Amino acid sequence: MSDLLPVLRVLGALLGMFALSLSVPLAASLWAGELLWHGWVLAIAVTLGVAALLWWGLREHRRELLPRHGVLLVSLVWLVTPFFAALPLLLVMDAIGRPMSFTHAYFEAVSGLTTTGSTVLSQLDELPLSVNMWRTFMQWIGGMGILILAVAILPVLGVGGSQLFKAEAAGPVKDTKLTPRMTETAKGLWGVYVLFSLACALAFWAGGMGPPDAIMHMFATVSLGGLSPHDASFGYFSSPLLESIALVFMLAASCNFALYFVAIRKGHWQGFWRDEEVRATLATLIGGGLLVALLLWLKGLYEPLQALRLGMFHVVSVATTTGFATTDYLAWPVFAPVFMLLLSGVATSAGSTGGGIKMVRMLILLKQARREMTRTVHPRAVQPVRLGSRVVESRMVFSVLAFMLMYGATVITLSMVLLLTDLDMVTAFSVVLASVHCTGPGLGLVGPASNYAVLSDFQLWVCTLGMLLGRLEILSFMALLTPAFWRR
Amino acid sequence: MSDLLPVLRVLGALLGMFALSLSVPLAASLWAGELLWHGWVLAIAVTLGVAALLWWGLREHRRELLPRHGVLLVSLVWLVTPFFAALPLLLVMDAIGRPMSFTHAYFEAVSGLTTTGSTVLSQLDELPLSVNMWRTFMQWIGGMGILILAVAILPVLGVGGSQLFKAEAAGPVKDTKLTPRMTETAKGLWGVYVLFSLACALAFWAGGMGPPDAIMHMFATVSLGGLSPHDASFGYFSSPLLESIALVFMLAASCNFALYFVAIRKGHWQGFWRDEEVRATLATLIGGGLLVALLLWLKGLYEPLQALRLGMFHVVSVATTTGFATTDYLAWPVFAPVFMLLLSGVATSAGSTGGGIKMVRMLILLKQARREMTRTVHPRAVQPVRLGSRVVESRMVFSVLAFMLMYGATVITLSMVLLLTDLDMVTAFSVVLASVHCTGPGLGLVGPASNYAVLSDFQLWVCTLGMLLGRLEILSFMALLTPAFWRR
Ligand SMILES: [K+]
Ligand SMILES: [K+]
């Protein structure tokens, strides 16, 4: 056990950095002339205090981290940060006379940091700017965390075949040990993320949003989070131009950021467009959008252009696990919302800020299945599974298989637990899928026009667990539960 | 293409045998003094005629069958036999003034032969004895077909890791080619099946059923089919004794028949009780029954004993893919019916007459997943996956993986097609699961107190396809769709 103390020390360092990010809502608070700015200051002070305590208190436990430490670190970071993210919500909401329970605040924080974008709050338009800024900014921070997780940590740990995600293109990730340098390796990706963020905020501003809205919606868009500062979500703007801008950035953010980095560095985009996963992701999103648009038109709900606008925006929004809405799509033919929710399980690339199982895993499984079918007929015809120009080794396929199984088991187990609380079937299964995929809006009681406050505290904790498991790609968390982990 | 003609010739032979089975309802018709017996004679004549035409017409195409022929033969048998099974239903139901559409008759035949046990008929108690005898007897014939399929054909074709199902115990299956001798190899299993059938019918009779009821319910029990000649299903009898007898035989029939055969031949049952799959199957069924009984009691629905009686009977009935009911369990807390339907996907053994993905595949996947989790923490600790005393090779695991993926894809695709017809989500997904698992009763509109006549013709065809795909273990059918199959 004692060799896990260095992990706590690193956690302290990360908490320190996290405390600094609270200066963003503090700045918003001061800029807007809110009277409740001291809530933010107090939260910063507490977080910095705990961080310092861990960092200095454990200064004798400075050591290089091993893979098994990584498993613990990642799980701890995602469990502990939401406490400190929830703290200012508790303080500030209390100050404005709309106190939140700890369950609600922790849920909101996990929802933000995992970029799920579910909310238990209503009357969003009347919240202080600093609160909305923090709600949306949490997604942006979470997005940065996800990029390290997906590109620097999970591959090192070998979670669910994620070694593959380094792909041919991803030059920057070469370390095989967990060292503080892993932060360095993620800098290239963060560069792309920041670039996208600037471009997106400027585009929203140029498209007609005020600066605070442009910034907050940028946070929600490039992180594929979808938390909005408006009750009407993206429908607040009623603007085809702004919807198109969001559409483009959601599509862009659903691709592997490592490919952008390499393309920019090399100065050409051949590798990007040749990447099988990117092509499959974009084809699925756009093809799905056209299909739903066609359905909406054929069923006589909208004129062709309106059907295209609404179908494309909502399919891309939900399937990229963003979750913006401009209308209550649960009123559409039942095929559409179910289709969108299922797509959100597969239609983002590894190395993006999206949730779900990721397109690359789906591709590997489909190729493996096709190979098996051929072998049923021609037992001797054994071709290896390929991804791009590389042969996918058996152990990669096994990792992906194990991942899928644990993913399925998680979804079914959490849904069954919700059924035990007598929640209806549609809400139970959809709320779990929407949480584990980090999508946000579900079906039934938790559709895009509703919010998660309709759920009981216990049900919210189940969703919170679902969001965390989904974001941690399940296995890294499950590994903690194996006896082998605690043996040395 | 022309080398597939020998397949049609074997199909002719099988149809000839199938025609003889129609003598059972004919005998029931004569025994009951029904005036409509000539419908059965006509059906026998037509079936024999077609069989003779194929057998003699293709007599120059007598050849040993290869694995690829097997794929085609199996698919053809399960597509073509229901036509000839539906024919007498059309003739006889028309004669009594309750004409069936072809869609309904074919659905009923597929439901019987696949041992799914869904029905589109109502007022069952008023049907001629011969019709009910045929409906239930189809399941028993189907059960025989499934035993050959599972133990002699699928393993040779290597469908979804089914080579494993030969297991340590299954001595009788050693051929690696498809020859007429495969019929011989299945004789031992049929022996067990016939023995069980005799014991079950005698037990039902001794327990208080009249001879026709005892025979028909035996057909529905040992085949795990669950089609009943009574509108009230097994609730018609209101007898704890008969329910217990059914319970024992459903549990027994959910185990691998090859294990019984070996145990009887060797004279000891060590191999049976040591078999991991049998233990897991029985533990799942009994544990599931206790869990639901506990839930029913805790929620205050029944007294403890009544909760145990109802919980155990329905969990075993649904989870073994039988589908008998004595009460409308959709009125129970929502957890129970969903849990039972999901269990029906895994809680039967390979080499039984049950449906679903089979427990052995689940075991292999769980073990593989556990192994991967350990490897996340200890990259060098690589232990092979074992089933009993045998090491499971990688290619077996891959087969199982491909199978699971195709199974999942089938369920989702068929459900989405049903959603396109604006069927509600609960009914759509449950009806597909109940069909593909060959369970029978679903949730929503197609619960145990309802029947499949509420569905439209198109929706029934989707279910029919689901039952056939589920019973053929999907891959054997999918293989027909690959270009590789049609290349030589
Ligand atoms: K989201
Ligand atoms: K059944």
Whether the CB-CB separation of A25 and A36 falls below 8 Å is answered with no
pLDDT the model gives residue A50: 93
The SS3 assignment for B387 reads strand
Nearest ligand to the CA atom of B250: 2
Q: How many CB atoms lie under 10 A from the CB of residue A2?
A: 6
How would you classify residue A450: left for phi > 0, otherwise alpha for psi between -120 and 50, otherwise beta?
A: beta
DSSP character string of B394-441:
HHHHHHHHHHHHHHHHHHHHHHHHHHHTT--HHHHHHHHHHHHTT---
pLDDT the model gives residue B220: 95
pLDDT the model gives residue B380: 67
pLDDT the model gives residue A411: 95
Residue A33 among known ligand-binding residues: no
Alpha-carbon gap: B444 to the closest alpha carbon of chain A (Å): 10
What's the ipTM? 0.87
pLDDT the model gives residue B401: 80
Closest CA to B75 of B29, B14, B161: B14
pLDDT the model gives residue B38: 86
Q: pLDDT of A267-313, one tens digit each?
A: 888 888 888 889 999 999 999 999 999 999 999 999 999 999 999 99
Which residues on chain B are in Cβ contact (under 8 Å) with A158? 375-376, 379
Whether the CB-CB separation of B47 and B87 falls below 8 Å is answered with yes
Which residues on chain B are in Cβ contact (under 8 Å) with A333? 419-420, 422
Q: How far apart are CA B350 and CA A234, in angstroms?
A: 52
- What amino acid occupies position A268? H
pLDDT the model gives residue A74: 82
Sign of CA dihedral A317, A323, A325, A330: positive
Alpha-carbon gap: A420 to the closest alpha carbon of chain B (Å): 5
Nearest ligand to the CA atom of A470: 1
Question: Chain-centre distance of CA B54, in angstroms?
Answer: 28
Residue B225 among known ligand-binding residues: yes
Which residues on chain B are in Cβ contact (under 8 Å) with A366? 405
Q: How far apart are CA A345 and CA B473, in angstroms?
A: 25
Angle between helices A276-298 and A359-377 (to 10 degrees): 90
The SS3 assignment for A344 reads coil
pLDDT the model gives residue B2: 60
Closest CA to A157 of A407, A480, A385: A480
pLDDT the model gives residue B183: 56
Alpha-carbon gap: B430 to the closest alpha carbon of chain A (Å): 11
Question: Chain-centre distance of CA A136, in angstroms?
Answer: 13
pLDDT the model gives residue A397: 80
Interchain CB distance below 8 Å, A478 and B381: no
DSSP character string of A56-74:
HHTGGG--PBPHHHHHHHH
Interchain CB distance below 8 Å, A475 and B406: no
Residue B289 among known ligand-binding residues: no
DSSP character string of A118-183:
--S---GGGS-HHHHHHHHHHHHHHHHHHHHIIIIIHHHHTGGGGGGGGTTT-TT----SB-TTHH
pLDDT the model gives residue B312: 96
Tokens of A337: 């919302």
Choose the mutation target among A301, A374, A377 for the interface with B, i.e. most B CBs under 10 Å.
A377
Q: Closest partner residue to B376 among A339, A419, A475, by Cβ?
A: A475
Whether the CB-CB separation of B185 and B199 falls below 8 Å is answered with no
pLDDT the model gives residue A266: 80
Q: Please name the helix (run of DSSP H) or strand (run of DSSP E) that holds residue B49, with its range, or none.
A: helix B37-57
Name residues whose C-beta falls within 8 Å of residue B124's C-beta, 6 or more positions apart in sequence. B132, B228, B229, B230, B231
Closest CA to B448 of B296, B329, B359, B361: B329
Gap from CA of A319 to ligand 1 centroid (Å): 9
How many contacts, defined by CB atoms under 8 Å, are there between A and B? 155
Closest chain B residue by Cα to residue A295: B420
- Buried/exposed code over B437-469 (b: 16+ C-beta within 10 A; e: otherwise): bbbbbbbbbbbbbbbbeebeeebbebbbbbbbb
Interchain CB distance below 8 Å, A369 and B158: no
All residue ranges of chain B with pLDDT < 50 are 166-181
Closest CA to A464 of A138, A107, A142: A107
How would you classify residue B308: left for phi > 0, otherwise alpha for psi between -120 and 50, otherwise beta?
A: alpha
Q: How far apart are CA A240 and CA A326, in angstroms?
A: 11
Closest chain A residue by Cα to residue B483: A374
Gap from CA of B428 to ligand 2 centroid (Å): 18
Give ion ligand 1 contacts, CB < 5 A.
Answer: A 116-117, 225-226, 321, 323, 440
Interchain CB distance below 8 Å, A478 and B426: no
Gap from CA of B268 to ligand 1 centroid (Å): 59
Whether the CB-CB separation of B336 and A422 falls below 8 Å is answered with no
Closest CA to B416 of A282, A343, A366: A343
Closest CA to B149 of B171, B192, B178, B169: B178
Interchain CB distance below 8 Å, A420 and B365: no
CA distances to A15, A143, A224 from A148, rounded to whole Å, are 16, 9, 16
Alpha-carbon gap: B476 to the closest alpha carbon of chain A (Å): 8
Sign of CA dihedral B189, B191, B196, B197: positive
Closest CA to A339 of B436, B417, B300, B160: B417
Residue A103 among known ligand-binding residues: no
* Radius of gyration over every alpha carbon of chain B, rounded to an integer in angstroms: 22
Gap from CA of A6 to ligand 1 centroid (Å): 33
Nearest ligand to the CA atom of A221: 1
Interchain CB distance below 8 Å, A369 and B68: no
Sign of CA dihedral A85, A90, A91, A93: positive
Residue B179 among known ligand-binding residues: no
Tokens of B251: 């549990």
Residue A4 among known ligand-binding residues: no
pLDDT tens, residue order, chain A (488 aa): 566 788 888 888 889 989 999 999 999 999 988 888 888 999 999 999 999 998 888 877 777 666 667 778 888 888 999 999 999 999 999 989 999 999 999 999 999 999 999 999 988 999 999 999 999 999 999 998 888 777 666 666 665 665 555 433 333 333 333 344 455 557 778 888 999 999 999 999 999 999 999 999 999 999 999 998 998 889 899 999 999 999 999 999 999 888 888 888 888 888 888 888 899 999 999 999 999 999 999 999 999 999 999 999 999 999 999 999 999 999 999 999 999 999 999 999 888 888 888 898 889 888 888 887 777 666 666 677 888 777 887 777 887 887 888 889 999 999 999 999 999 999 999 999 999 999 999 999 998 888 899 999 999 999 999 999 998 877 666 666 666 666 65
Closest chain B residue by Cα to residue A159: B376
Torsions phi, psi for B335 (to 5 deg): -55, -45
Nearest ligand to the CA atom of B439: 2
How big is chain B, counted in residues?
Answer: 488
pLDDT the model gives residue A219: 95
Burial status of residue B66 (CB atoms within 10 A of its CB: 0-12, 13-18, 19 or more): middle
Torsions phi, psi for A342 (to 5 deg): -65, -40
Cα angle for residues A367, A272, A351 (degrees, 5° grid): 70
Q: How many CB atoms lie under 10 A from the CB of residue A216?
A: 28
